[in-house]
Amino acid sequence: MATELVGYDRLIQTYHLPARPLARFAVIDSSVRGRQTTNTGDLELMRFETRYRPADTLAGDLQFALRYEGINLEVLALLFAGAGRAELEAWLAAQPESGFARRAGYLYEWLTGNELTATARPKAAYVPTLDEKLQFGFAAGTRNAKFRVIDNLPGNRQFCPLVRKTDFLQAMAGKDLKRRTQETLARYDPALLRRAATFLYLKETHSSFEVEREKPSPDRARRFADLLREGESGNPLSESRLTELQNAIVDSRFHEFSYRRQQNWIGKDLGHRKKVDFVPARPEDVPDLMNGLARFSETLRAKPESMDPVVAAASLSFGFVFIHPFMDGNGRLHRYLIHEVLSSSGFTPKGIVLPVSAVILANLDRYVHALERFSNPLLARTTYDPDVPKTPATGNDALYFRFFDATEQASFLYWALDRTVEHDLEEEIAFLLGFDAARARLGGLLDWPAHSLDLFIRLVHQNGGTLSRTKRDSFFNWMTNEEVKRCEAVVGEAFGDRETQNRAQS
């Protein structure tokens, strides 16, 4: 069996490009008939029989890559920074009608800001820059007359993550979770949903803090919950607004009034040494990257129906946390931005927040994996010593934050939302219904001291239907054994009734 790299991987090797390892790559394989695609964990290997072999030239590999691998802006930016102009001029001059040559020419000018002399044939049919059979694009693209292409890239030169259309993501998009959310909520009384909304805002708040092993003060929890409620307001992102958001969720001692002006790092201080897990963007690159992210956000707000809302939310929110524009509060703001994009796009109904952070908290390994799919390859090429903080980091160039592949992050967010919509949302509403039923029945059985009734219900429900000896001794030593058993039975019946009804409805 003989194999050879082609497409982006061969361009990387031929031109010695400092690109991160590809998640999707292609080889010519003499043992294959036709085409075969194999997913091996986090990698997608495409194997082609020998008749697919492209010319061993920049144009040959570029045409192959655009046809079968999609657009990789990171590789193209690195390539076009030092090569490509002469080859593209010749390619366009020889084939001015070629859709691949025109797309490559447009991307060259888009990425470099330098103009090519060659143009497309004047009456050539317009073609989309990004092939939406391979990647998620922006449906409301703009036309470029020079190359006769439609720019359907979802972002801009400062910030443009791209997401591949994997089988998983296409299946998730086909489930129409937006409609499923609306159908689930339509089954309940509006008054109950108002109560549920309050409960969900608080749950999302505490879960988001717990992801970072923090317990917020009541005031900080209230401020974060208020932010979640304001997420549907449609206010544009900007440095001033993001600093206001940061100040609303962190301790006043750690307020910041602009994007950071020093290098930060993520890891552990082990005393004798510091273990660095991730080095975000350099401080001098942060304003430009964040301006691009803000422009991306405005594009989504202007035409929310033009892009898959979950892919958009993942691209923006994970892009934010990778850039890490503040010294503190980035993780909570990242999870807040998920909700803001979902809300402003109409994915989430007004007045409701989906408890995504609760799913993240219960599945931290999956969440960390999604983060590390970006951070680990970048860390491998980054040098930074936190013990000498004034020495600039190297390797964490803006390019890698500007044009990252957000497929893994979009996959995680879709998985988390699917779990939230199909399971957690109804479970949370069912809990409220069971709680209300238990409260109504228990209220007439005993004369409960202040706040003890709600506490009893929560403790019994959390413990599987019984009150633990420790909790009884601590809070309910005034109850007799018979009273405890009778009240435990009432709680069990209240929640059991709801679970039975839910199973009957599903």
Q: Quick one: pLDDT band at residue 278, thresholds 50, 70, 90?
A: very high
Distance CA 224, CA 218 (A): 10
What is the structure's pLDDT at 202? 76
Domain boundary among 57, 80, 103: 80
Q: Report yes or no: 420 and 356 within 8 Å, Cβ to Cβ.
A: yes
Beta carbons within 10 angstroms of residue 228's beta carbon: 21
Q: Quick one: pLDDT band at residue 468, thresholds 50, 70, 90?
A: very high
Domain count, the chain: 4
Q: Report yes or no: 432 and 495 within 8 Å, Cβ to Cβ.
A: no
What single letter denotes the amino acid at residue 260?
A: R
Tokens 């294959």 belong to which residue? 32
Q: Please compute the mean of the pLDDT values over residues 408-426 and round it to a whole number.
A: 92
Beta carbons within 10 angstroms of residue 368's beta carbon: 14
What is the structure's pLDDT at 473? 94
Domain boundary among 49, 80, 111: 80
Q: Is residue 41 part of a domain?
A: yes
Distance CA 462, CA 446 (A): 21
- Of all residues in the chain, the percent with pLDDT exceeding 90 is 67
Domain boundary among 20, 52, 80: 80
Angle at 106 between CA 103 and CA 108, to 5 degrees: 110
**Bigger pLDDT: 38 or 66?**
66
Residues 283 and 395 in one domain: yes
Residues 116 and 187 in one domain: no
Q: Please compute the mean of the pLDDT values over residues 362-370 and round it to a whole number.
A: 92
What is the structure's pLDDT at 506? 41
Residues 379 and 393 in one domain: yes
Q: Please compute the mean of the pLDDT values over residues 116-144 and round it to a whole number.
A: 95
Residues 415 and 476 in one domain: no
Is the pLDDT reported for residue 502 higher than 70? no
Q: What is the pLDDT of residues 281-295, one digit of tens each?
A: 999 999 999 999 999
Residues 176 and 284 in one domain: yes
**Residues in Cβ contact with 106 at an 8 Å cutoff, skipping those fewer than 6 apart:** 129, 144, 146, 147, 149, 151
DSSP, collapsed to helix, strand or coil, labels residue 29 as strand
Residues 355 and 246 in one domain: yes
Q: Which two tokens stand for residue 282?
A: 């350099």
Residues 371 and 247 in one domain: yes
Residues 74 and 107 in one domain: no
Angle at 384 between CA 380 and CA 386, to 5 degrees: 130
Distance CA 128, CA 115 (A): 20
What is the structure's pLDDT at 503? 38
Summary mean pLDDT of the chain: 90
Q: Quick one: pLDDT band at residue 501, thresholds 50, 70, 90?
A: very low
Sign of the torsion angle spanned by Cα atoms 325, 326, 330, 336:
negative
Q: Please compute the mean of the pLDDT values over residues 208-228 and round it to a whole number.
A: 78
Q: What is the pLDDT of residues 316-348, one digit of tens each?
A: 999 999 999 999 989 989 998 998 999 888 898
Q: How would DSSP label each residue in 187-253?
A: TS-HHHHHHHHHHHHHHHHHHHHHHTT----HHHHHHHHHHHHHGGG-PPP-HHHHHHHHHHHS-GG
What is the structure's pLDDT at 497? 54
Q: What is the pLDDT of residues 171-206, one digit of tens each?
A: 999 999 999 988 888 888 777 777 787 777 777 887
Q: Which of 126-130, 163-167, 419-423 has the lowest mean pLDDT?
A: 419-423
What is the structure's pLDDT at 321? 96
Containing domain of residue 497, as a range? 444-505
Is the pLDDT reported for residue 1 higher than 60? no
Residues 408 and 261 in one domain: yes
What is the structure's pLDDT at 211? 83
Task: Give whole-number Cα distances, 475 to 282, 398, 439, 467, in Å.
Answer: 53, 56, 18, 10
Residues 188 and 336 in one domain: yes
Residue positions counted in the chain:
506
Q: Is residue 285 part of a domain?
A: yes
Q: Which two tokens stand for residue 241?
A: 């607004």
Q: Is residue 432 part of a domain?
A: no
Is the pLDDT reported for residue 500 higher than 50? no
Q: Is residue 320 part of a domain?
A: yes
Which residue, 204, 199, 211, is CA-closest to 329?
211
Is the pLDDT reported for residue 504 higher than 50? no
Residues 124 and 49 in one domain: no
Q: Is residue 161 part of a domain?
A: no
Residues 43 and 179 in one domain: no
Q: Please compute the mean of the pLDDT values over residues 389-416 and round it to a whole number.
A: 95
Q: Is residue 166 part of a domain?
A: no
What is the structure's pLDDT at 83? 93
Distance CA 351, CA 105 (A): 46
Sign of the torsion angle spanned by Cα atoms 365, 367, 373, 378:
negative
- Of all residues in the chain, the percent with pLDDT exceeding 70 is 97
Is the pLDDT reported for residue 39 higher than 70? yes
Distance CA 245, CA 225 (A): 12
Q: With 0-12 CB in 10 A as exposed, 13-18 as middle and 19+ as buried, what is 400?
A: buried
Alpha-carbon 33 to chain mean position: 37
Q: Is residue 164 part of a domain?
A: no
Continuous H helices in 69-189: 73-80, 85-94, 99-112, 167-175, 177-186
Q: What is the pTM of this model?
A: 0.89
- CATH number at 373 reads 1.10.3290.10
Q: Is residue 438 part of a domain?
A: no
Q: Quick one: pLDDT band at residue 505, thresholds 50, 70, 90?
A: very low
Distance CA 128, CA 149 (A): 6
